[in-house]
Amino acid sequence: IDAALSDGPLRGKRIVVTSGPTYEPIDPVRYIANRSSGAQGTAIARALAVLGAEVIFVTGPADVAPPEGVTVVKVETAQQMLEAVQGVLPADAAVFAAAVADWRVASASSSKIKKTKGGLPVLEFAENPDILATVSQMEQGRPDLVVGFAAETDHVIENATAKCARKGCDWIVANDVSHETGIMGGAENDITLISDAGAEDWPRMSKSDVAARLAERIAQALA
Ligand code: CTP
Ligand code: CA
């Protein structure tokens, strides 16, 4: 990334990318998380920057380091991620690759929960805000292109198509995250790009190749 790239097809375009898991605290020492490594979101942010975009990378606590040449905003919880995204808009496009926790602990304890004789803690949950849906449905200043991801284990295309329609995004990248696919936490991805042009099944390839190809498509769409 750098000099050579500032001349790419996404020069002058501002793109927000979310990535990684979120951590939802239970108490000061414990949290609820998920298996997202942040690899696919990181690769997408890098690929967009390589094509010359100004990338704002809003990331949860990921395993992989953020790419060079992007503005990094680190967050932990879903609520923080929403606020961070809202704080960096407007943008020409937004790609929501983060594995956002659907629920948070309703009232996280400010002190460590201790074992008590014969007692088990009971956690109550509250639903997190849906960042993709919130941005997709903005009445003013909505990015021209909003891309979601759909992590599914069953009826992948059907569920992903319905998810995109429900949330109001423009494209959705569907992938099968069944454990045996090795996709979550792995180096490869096997996706179907769903847009108004239909469902396009891409061959299984590295996450960086998926990212490069998606970045090219985004550049065409924004041109
Ligand atoms: N997403 C989001 N905010 C949330 C939950 C999800 O922005 N609170 C985004 C993800 O980044 C992804 C898309 O929504 O781009 C779909 O996430 P997914 O977990 O597959 O969908 P959900 O609507 O949460 O449905 P479910 O987990 O029940 O399948
Ligand atoms: Ca979810």
pLDDT tens track for 81-102? 999 999 999 999 999 999 999 9
Helix residue ranges, H only, the chain: 39-50, 78-88, 131-136, 156-167, 207-222
Q: What's 181's DSSP letter? A: G
CA–CA dist 155, 140 (Å, integer) = 34
Radius of gyration of the chain (CA): 18
Q: Is 74 part of any known ligand binding site?
A: no
113 — pLDDT class (breaks 50, 70, 90): very high
Number of residues assigned to the chain: 223
Ligand 1 neighbours (beta carbon < 6 A): 18, 78, 96, 98, 100, 102, 128, 130-132, 148-151, 163
CA–CA dist 61, 55 (Å, integer) = 18
Pocket test of ligand 1: the residue of 100, 127, 137 to mutate, having most ligand atoms within 8 Å of its CB, is 100
Fold for the domain defined by 3-106+121-222: Rossmann fold (3.40.50)
Distance from the alpha carbon of residue 53 to the mean position of ligand 2, in angstroms: 28
pLDDT, tens digit, 9 for 90 and up, residues 24-40: 999 999 999 998 999 99
Closest by CA to 56, choosing from 143, 140, 129, is: 143
pLDDT at position 178 over 90: no
Contact 149, 175 (CB under 8 A): yes
CA–CA dist 42, 98 (Å, integer) = 10
pLDDT of amino acid 1: 52
CA–CA dist 20, 222 (Å, integer) = 25
Q: In the chain, what are the domain boundaries?
A: 3-106+121-222
Amino acid at residue number 201? D
Residue with tokens 């949860």: 60
